[in-house]
Structure 1
């Protein structure tokens, strides 16, 4: 082995003498040759005997066995510097999960079939209170506000006290009712055998008329019955009455003050059930003609989307905007939408060609930004397949790139992607 090292050094010296000089680039090349020769001698061992030229010729003829760079170029899928990731990717390019595991992970598998989604029409929209589930609280006679029992944004139940008012008319009517009720009770107790028929009927009619007067002023039946009790007359502030909520909901307005004289028809409270709201979309007449009642719709706001349905297409055109209003009914259990808020409406129109569509959550992006879905193969394994996203229709995405009948994961795609990432598989390399 020492002899071979000496031979290599002598060869370098001979080259230097023959050339007369060594340029800086040639100097580096010679050093590399020396290192290569030393590495070769290390592998061959001291027991082997090759002459000076034979050893180098053999090295040139077998670059794949000993050349560090050549071996990696010719066999990239073999034992490379990264420990053979090629074989690992081949094993991790699909996931096989049991039905129980799929259920636990929230992964649903379905076969794709063509569906007609129609074209999606868009337009600006404004959120409004559902007028069919709203009411106002107003006095029926002139009165003065004595006390409020609820404030703005309070949630109230049907029959809950809202405000106490005072009215002189109510005080007079309560007095009349009290007298009429006592007379009626006396006559009724005596019976028709004792009193005349005329007195009996007059007492009954007078009592009913006095009760009707209080009802017309807005008093509830419970308050009227209490007004007839002698015990209530003591310490009771005559003329005061309470307005009650006639539905459950939220107080969205209460424009009055204590001591204010309020008139009949003046709105004291707006009570709105915000569990559902309206989105009034403005569409041009041509688009409105292609929208059917009950059609699917979506309302987009602040980066979120809420499913809705078409409840009404107005029959008239707005004279200022020259658009047709389309009313959408939107569920609002989480109170994310508020009356007066602006949004974007998307409404599904009639017609269109059958397409393949998946829920939006079925798509994930690969490392290079391509869209993929997870397709189940014959072995029930789930593999990522690149697709083209054509358009988004509400919560559905129209796709191309896989045939109809393909079985795909319509939910849980992010879980599958993370599991592949844990196993070291890159979707981009698929």
Structure 2
């Protein structure tokens, strides 16, 4: 007996048991009409050689997507007058976050109002009525005051409203606006506190996607490439992702390499700081006969694949020797050959029909 004959011989006790069953003798449970095939969800495919991807598993930590994260801070020394947004709020671009007051802003507001009024007078007279130098000075003074306020963080809309209101608006107060949409994840300040330029008051995070940082051994990380598919397992769910980049530096303490994974997070399932499992698919250079893992069932403790029989609508169980399962595909070592039509989906339904037939059930 050769090794290639083993799967067929192993299946003989099963076939003998089925043939001895009165229910099986009366009617073949693996002979189905088109309606029964459709109801069982049976899909037939042709066995072929394919490149089976490998999978690397590694723990990962969820981090905010830094490319979609914004720090909001004043550009001039200010005092906090009122809070407009709080931790956890979801804001849109242009939403007022906090009201600040600044001496420097008050001085520049006054300069802009005076320069704007002066420019309006000069412009109404026209370039022919005043000297070119006076005309240009008025224009430059207005534009410089406007540019200074923009450098302090005021928007064009805020500046336009300031000019419209006139001198009563030059009180040094202004609203710090959200530069982009996102969720407020930090707001570490108090009303009345003096804030120095550049100190972050808010962190706005767009949670439509997050990063997962997985750490791999250098030899394993070398097999990971940008764009590789990743499955992130968290909270009992599997979320798709892809490799953004692999670090080119090994951590001196852990001797691991960081791999950054981007994961869509529209359902808000992942949050920064959580620990998850990442499964990175790595393309293998080896090719094998392979079937989806669900196409292999156990009959009499023997791995079995159903193939198309001789009669229309008929299926037959064939014992197979299987290899590793990678990426949802199970390698077939022996038992069936390439080109054979097999049951890709619905193998469990056929197994159930055999078991019911052995029990004498319809």
TM-score (norm 1): 0.68
Residue 130 of structure 1, CA deviation = 1.3
Deviation at 1:363, TM superposition (A): 5.1
Check whether the contact 1:301–1:343 (CA below 8 A) recurs between aligned residues: yes
Q: Tell me how far apart the structure 2 counterparts of residues 157 and 140 of structure 1 sit (CA, whole Å).
A: 21
SS in 1 for 2:48: coil
Q: How does 1:26-425 map to 2 (within 5 A)?
A: 77-78=21-22, 85-87=23-25, 90-97=27-34, 101=38, 110-230=45-165, 233-234=167-168, 236=169, 238-358=171-291, 362=294, 375-377=307-309, 379-380=312-313, 390-394=323-327, 396-400=328-332, 402-407=336-341, 416=349, 420=353, 424-425=356-357
Q: For the pair shown, which has the larger CA radius of gyration, 1 or 2?
A: 1
Cα deviation per residue 1:318-349 (whole Å; 9 max; x = unaligned)? 11111111111222222222111112222233
1:302–1:198 Cα change, 3 Å: same
* Distance in 2 separating the partners of 1:254 and 1:412: 54
2:58 alignment partner, SS class: strand
Whether the 8 Å contact between 2:232 and 2:240 is mirrored in structure 1 is yes
Is the partner of 1:228 in helix, strand or coil?
helix
Q: Distance in 2 between matches of 1:140 and 1:111?
A: 66
Moved more, 283-292 or 118-127: 118-127
**TM, length-normalised to structure 2:** 0.79
Secondary structure in structure 2 of the residue aligned to 1:320: coil
1:291 CA displacement: 1.9
Name which of structure 1's ranges 275-284 and 257-266 shifts more when overlaid on structure 2.
257-266
The answer as to whether partners of 2:74 and 2:153 remain within 8 angstroms in 1 is yes
Q: Determine the C-alpha separation between the residues in 1 that align with 2:36 and 2:172.
A: 72
- How much is the aligned-residue C-alpha RMSD, in angstroms? 3.5
Higher relative contact order (CA 8 A, sep 6+): 2
- Secondary structure of 1:227's aligned partner: helix
How many residue pairs get matched?
339
Q: Which moved more, 1:339-348 or 1:401-410?
A: 401-410
Gaps of 5+ in 2: 1-18
CA distance in 2, matches of 1:100, 1:198: 91
Q: Is the 8 A contact 2:229 2:243 kept in 1?
A: yes
Distance in 1 between residues matched to 2:42 and 2:195, nearest whole Å: 60
Shift in Å, 1:180: 0.7
Structure 1, gaps ≥5 residues long: 1-74, 79-84
CA contact (8 A) 2:295 2:346 kept: no
